[in-house]
A and B are shown apart, each in its own frame.
Chain A
Amino acid sequence: MALTRRQRAKAWRGVQYAIVVVVVLVAAFTADWSQIGRSFFNVQVALNLMPEVFTIALKNTITYTALGFGLGFALGLVLALMRLSSVAVYRIVAAAYIEFFRGLPALLVFIGVGVAVPLAFGTILDRNLSIMIALGLVGSAYMAETIRAGIQAVPRGQVEAAQSLAMSPTKTMSFIVVPQAFRIVLPPLTNELILLTKDSSLAFFLGSTLEQQELAQFGRTALNQERSLTPVLLVGLCYLIITLPLGYLARRLERRYGSAGMPKGAEV
């Protein structure tokens, strides 16, 4: 029997739904729900972790991320400008830096900052400074490429208009190109921020007192102490508390600056 295209599509979708329902049912019947409840949804354990999960762990995660993002953003902007420079040495140095730090796992960068720097220079850096440097190095490599793409997306006519008004290359960059590039790259930069939020969990590698624990380490410690998986769930929710609003913000900004503020009637 020949089905029409529409009927075939409908039948295929019916099969898909059926598969999902079967998988969910099998999982639901085979899972040990009382065990899951005890492990993940233990209210007493959750209460034991209050308020430290917020006042220490969440706070530290936000602090470390902010430090790393601040440095990474500043470095990333400099690197992006170097990548676009007419001076070959700047371009090569920036490209090498970006390839190097983008290719390394963030963990290795933390090891480098936490171990190699004290070994080489005989000083132990302040812990927050180390975190800032490690996250900044990792973040800057990614952000440099994002910002560079944003700068290159600014229409050529904007640069020519600035030149025709006798603005120097530096002034053109500072007052015309970079401000417009930021509007273009705000959404992808928000993604970098979310990635850095998660990378901040590597701060455990630099050692920490109870007061210095961020979310992931706090969760692991609590996991061992409480012999319950509830801290994992709680900590996971805390990450979402940070990242969901950021994602929402990114989408809003994207809508607002989606067309990069291109003037009406300027489409070629």
Chain B
Amino acid sequence: MTAGTTEPIVRISDLHKSFGANEVLRGIDLDVARGEVVCVIGPSGSGKSTLLRCVNLLEVPTGGTVVVNGHEMTDPDVDIDAARRSTGMVFQQFNLFSHLSVLDNLTIAQRRVLGRSRAEAEERARANLARVGISEKENAQPGQLSGGQQQRVAIARALSMDPAVMLFDEPTSALDPELVGDVLDVMRGLADDGMTMLVVTHEIQFAREVADRVLFIDGGVIVEQGPPADVIGNPREERTRSFLARVLHTAPRAAGG
């Protein structure tokens, strides 16, 4: 199977995931088209992060299939390391490699996985650091950066691998409020450039402005989905309404989870 222009980049069918007796995902079907920005919202423990982590197989699904860019991630015989090259991931806790400089964080996988030369890897790394607006920090250690800077480096690190789809797992939840805007601006820029993005977020405002489609997940199922104007602006389901009322009421930016 090849990824044609009409073929979705991510195709999730009847995805189930249990941790012991606890069924976190109860049958998720989701297609993400090339260039589409899908934001996933929902209460804590609803399974949003698990859904995202099943896409690049950081969690192994209990049932169903996940196909990313033509690779069936859930096939037991899949070359998972090759299949993961199609996805880039940004974590809530940044997870920059703490023993490497910013530049080395961006080049190590390019060189060790993609086999690029140091010069080529550094060229790509610098281009991506410029893209997230943090070029001047290339020789810094991660510990010397603010949370917002670290997260932008993490985004640049994922971009350096030229992924077909970017996965964001609550990328601003661990940030101090005044640093959230910079990271969201970078993500907005990516969306404008046509990057395919699957974003788990508590930033309702961001979802409203940037998403092509919003998914509301609760209890391991997709409760409601559609354009942000519908799902956020005029939700059909009671559960969606009460969730939005809670997050939008407490603060414009919900606390991290």
Taken together as a complex, chains A and B put the C-alpha atoms of A263 and B98 apart, in Å, by 6
If the complex has contacts A158-B98, A261-B98, are A165 and B113 also in contact, measured as CB distance less than 8 A? yes
Contact at A261–B141, with CB atoms within 8 Å? yes
Query: Closest CB-CB distance, B68 to chain A, in whole Å?
Result: 12
Whether A165 pairs with B109 at a CB distance below 8 angstroms is: yes
Which B184-209 residues have C-beta < 8 A from chain A? none
Q: Would A164 and B143 be within 8 Å (CB), given that A171-B112, A179-B99 are in contact?
A: no
Rounded to whole angstroms, the CA-CA distance of A179 and B112 in the bound complex is 15
A-B pairs with CB below 8 Å: how many?
A: 100
A160 to B84, alpha carbons, bound, how many Å? Answer: 12
Question: Do the beta carbons of A264 and B146 come within 8 Å of each other?
Answer: yes
- Supposing A164-B58, A165-B157, A171-B113 touch, asked if A176 and B97 sit within 8 A by C-beta, the answer is yes
Q: Is B220 an interface residue (CB 8 A)?
A: no
**Counting chain B CB atoms within 10 Å of each CB, which of A157, A164, A167, A260 scores highest?**
A164
Q: Shortest Cβ distance from A28 into chain B, in angstroms? A: 53
Report the separation of the CA atoms of residues A171 and B89 in the bound assembly, to the nearest whole angstrom. 18
Nearest-neighbour CB distance to chain A for B65, whole angstroms, equals 20
Determine the chain B residues whose CB is within 8 A of the CB of A262 once the complex forms. 98, 143
Contact A268 B95 (CB under 8 A): no
Q: How large is the interface on B (under 10, 10 to 19, 20 to 34, 35 or more residues)?
A: 35 or more
Tell me whether A164 and B88 are in contact (CB under 8 A): yes
B130 in the interface (beta carbon within 8 A): no
Tell me if A166 and B141 are in contact (CB < 8 A): no
Is the beta-carbon distance between A166 and B85 smaller than 8 angstroms? yes
A105 contacts the other chain (CB 8 A) = no
Q: Which residue of A lies closest to B157 (CB)?
A: A165
The answer to whether B113 touches A161 (Cβ under 8 A) is no
Docked pose: A163 CA to B161 CA in angstroms: 13
Contact A264 B108 (CB under 8 A): no
CB distance from A47 to the nearest CB of B (A): 50
Q: Does A205 contact B (CB under 8 A)?
A: no
Cβ–Cβ < 8 Å partners of B161 in chain A: 165-166
A263 touches B82 (CB 8 A): no
**Whole-angstrom distance between the Cβ of A58 and the nearest chain B Cβ:** 35
Nearest chain B CB to A145 CB, angstrom units: 22
Q: Is A245 an interface position by the 8 A CB rule?
A: no
16 A-B pairs within 8 Å (CB atoms) are namely A157-B91, A161-B89, A161-B91, A161-B96, A162-B109, A164-B87, A165-B108, A165-B157, A179-B99, A180-B97, A180-B98, A180-B99, A261-B98, A262-B98, A265-B94, A266-B150
List 10 additional A-B contacts (Cβ < 8 Å) besides A161-B95, A166-B84, A266-B94. A160-B58, A164-B84, A164-B87, A166-B81, A166-B109, A171-B113, A180-B98, A259-B143, A263-B150, A264-B150
What is the interface of chain B, defined by CB distance below 8 A to chain A?
A: 56, 58, 81-82, 84-85, 87-89, 91, 93-99, 108-109, 112-113, 141-147, 150, 154, 157-158, 161, 167, 174-176
